[in-house]
Amino acid sequence: MPIKLPLSVALFLIWGFVSWRWYVCDIKQACPEPEPVVEDTRPLVFNWGKAEAITRPAFEAYRDSIALKTLPKGQILEIIGQYYEGEPGKDSSFNLGTARAEEVKKLFSETLPEERLAASSRQADGPEDAQEQPFEAVAFAFIEPAAIGDMEITKLEGRILIQFPFREASKDLEPEAGAYFEKLAQQLEKTGETIRIAGHTDSIGNAEANLKLGLARARYIEEILLSKGLTPSRITVESKGEEEPIADNSTEDGQRRNRRVEIRIEGCYGCWGWAIYLASTGPGRP
C-alpha cells in the first residue's frame, strides 16, 4: 500500500526546506550563483543540415564592414559556404556549402553589385555541438579583379594577340600602349563597326570567381577604349571565364596565355580581331 503522509507532515517539510533555503541563501549568502545567460551575438549562423542563413541584429553592420573592405580596390568578394562531415557536401547531388554561400550572396547583394560577388564551398571542421546549436558556416576571401601587367603584339591567322606594358600598380597605360588603343578607337569610329570584348582566365580557382574575373578584365579594356573616344553603344562586353582555354592550364606559360581579353568585330566575315594577353603577379589571377 502506498504510504500517505499526513498533511501536517508535508507542510512541515515544505516549511523546513523554505526556511533552510532562506537561511543559507539570504542569511549566510552561501548559495551558488546561477549560471549567467550568455547571449549569442554572432551576426550570421546556420542550423545543422539547413541552407537558410540566420541573421542577428548585428548583421547589417557586419555585412557593411566586410563590403567596405572590398570597395577601395574594387575587389570581388568570394563567399565560401562551409559544410561539415555528415552534412550534404561535394559527394552529394546537393552541395550544402554552395547553397549556404548563395543564401549569403543574396544578403550581400543589397550592398555590392552582382559582378562583385562569387559563391563557392568547402568542407570544414564543425563545432562539437553543431547538431544541437547554431554555428557559423561561411568564410570570405577578397579577389583582385584585374591587375593587368605587360602586353606584346603577335599576329596570328584571323586575329592579333596584343600584350602591352602597363604599370601594374596604377594601371596607367604606357605611352605606346595608350597611343595604340587611341588609334584602334579612331579606326573603329571611322568604320562604324561594333566590337565584342570577351574576358578569359586560366582554370585555377573557383569557376564562378573566374567568370567574374574575366568580366572585370573585359570591362577594363572597355574603359580604355571609351576613354579614347569609342562610342559606348558599339561595344559589347562578356566573360568566358575558364571555359575557352587556348593553351594547357597545367603549365605556367599556358595559364599566362589563357589569361587574356579578345576583341573581335561583330558580323563581319574574315575581319580582323584582337586577343589581349594579361600577365599576372600571382598564379590564377589577372
Q: What are phi and psi of 236, to 5 degrees?
A: -115, 135
For the chain, count helices (H), then strands (E): 6, 11
State the Cα–Cα distance between residues 268 and 193, nearest whole angstrom: 9
pTM (whole model) above 0.85: no
Tell me, what's the pLDDT at 34?
Answer: 65
Q: What are phi and psi of 223, to 5 degrees?
A: -60, -40
Tell me, what's the pLDDT at 87?
Answer: 86
**Burial environment of residue 173 by CB neighbours within 10 A (0 to 12, 13 to 18, 19 or more):** buried
Mean pLDDT per 10-residue section of the chain, whose length is 286 residues: 60 67 63 67 92 93 87 77 80 76 92 82 83 91 58 46 36 64 82 83 85 85 89 91 82 75 65 53 39
Tell me, what's the pLDDT at 146?
Answer: 45
CA atoms within 13 A on the CB side of 59: 14
Tell me, what's the pLDDT at 62?
Answer: 93
Tell me, what's the pLDDT at 119?
Answer: 80
Tell me, what's the pLDDT at 56?
Answer: 92
Cα radius of gyration (the chain): 31
Residues with Cβ within 8 Å of residue 32, at least 6 apart in sequence: none
Tell me, what's the pLDDT at 168?
Answer: 32
**What string of DSSP letters covers 142-193?**
EE---------EEEETTEEEE---B-TTT-PBPHHHHHHHHHHHHHHHHHT-
Please name each of the domains of the chain with its CATH number: 44-143 (3.30.1330.60), 153-277 (3.30.1330.60)
